[in-house]
């Protein structure tokens, strides 16, 4: 459990470093997360980092048990008047260990997938620790779609990541970098171009 938090904290710190000198106008560019700008995703990460189990349940109830509405409210609550204000808020919560009622590896999904939601449109790259990516991918593969995962999808394809010596699922093979597989099963179509194999049309149809 401590190792997971070390990885989570390292990813938050790396993202803060990447955004430190980013021009304010670029914060308003569309992210890979549909309907959200880069600034919105950073605000969501502030919200996520500070969320407790009780706070999550209360917030979800107030949002009428609508996850999208709950997330949108979190973005509005934590998005500062300027990018630097939002970044300062992310700094303040970067070392926290609070989490909603979900497996701890969900914090890795948050940091890696949303990290790419931000970095790819900005032309930024990061070499993520293999363990962080693989743990996030394995969690997505066993999490139902109703909770943002790809369990049902992975029942129809086999995800193979030669760079991480990982193979998950049954069915037609989809092969490519572990990070691209993680993004693809998390609904990021941009990663599909990195993948090969007879199972790719299944991912295309599902995204």
pLDDT digits (tens, 9 = 90+) for 166-175: 999 989 999 9
The pLDDT assigned to 92 comes to 97
Segment 79-106 shows an average pLDDT of: 96
Q: Decide if pLDDT at 1 tops 60.
A: no
175 DSSP assignment: E
pLDDT digits (tens, 9 = 90+) for 120-137: 999 999 999 999 999 999
pLDDT digits (tens, 9 = 90+) for 42-87: 999 999 999 988 888 888 788 788 778 888 898 999 999 999 999 9
Backbone angles phi, psi at 68, to 5 degrees: -65, -40
The pLDDT assigned to 57 comes to 84
pTM of the model: 0.93
Domain extents in the chain: 2-104+114-122, 130-206
At the topology level, CATH places domain 130-206 in Nonspecific Lipid-transfer Protein; Chain A (3.30.1050)
At residue 201 the predicted structure's pLDDT band, cuts being 50, 70 and 90, is very high
Which sign does the torsion angle of CA 36, 105, 204, 122 carry? positive
Which sign does the torsion angle of CA 175, 178, 183, 189 carry? negative
The pLDDT assigned to 198 comes to 97
The pLDDT assigned to 135 comes to 97
Distances 105 to 1, 3, 101 between C-alpha atoms, Å: 9, 11, 12
Output the average pLDDT for the chain: 94
The pLDDT assigned to 8 comes to 98
The pLDDT assigned to 2 comes to 54
């Amino acid at each position: 459990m401590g190792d997971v938090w070390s990885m989570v904290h390292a990813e938050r710190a790396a993202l803060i470093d990447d955004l430190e000198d980013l021009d304010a106008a670029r914060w308003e560019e569309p992210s890979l997360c549909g309907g959200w700008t880069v600034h919105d995703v950073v605000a969501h990460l502030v919200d996520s980092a500070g969320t407790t189990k009780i706070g999550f349940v209360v917030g979800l109830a107030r949002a009428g048990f609508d996850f999208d509405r709950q997330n949108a409210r979190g973005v509005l609550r934590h998005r500062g008047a300027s990018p630097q204000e939002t970044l300062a808020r992310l700094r303040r919560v970067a070392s926290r260990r609070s989490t909603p009622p979900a497996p701890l590896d969900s914090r890795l999904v948050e940091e890696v997938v949303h990290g790419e939601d931000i970095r790819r449109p900005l032309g930024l790259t990061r070499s993520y620790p293999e363990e962080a990516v693989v743990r996030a991918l394995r969690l997505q593969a066993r999490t139902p779609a109703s909770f943002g995962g790809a369990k049902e999808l992975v029942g129809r394809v086999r995800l193979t990541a030669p760079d991480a010596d990982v193979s998950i699922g049954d069915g037609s093979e989809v092969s490519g970098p572990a990070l691209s597989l993680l993004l693809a099963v998390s609904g990021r179509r941009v990663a599909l171009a990195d993948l090969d194999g007879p199972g790719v049309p299944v991912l295309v149809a599902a995204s």
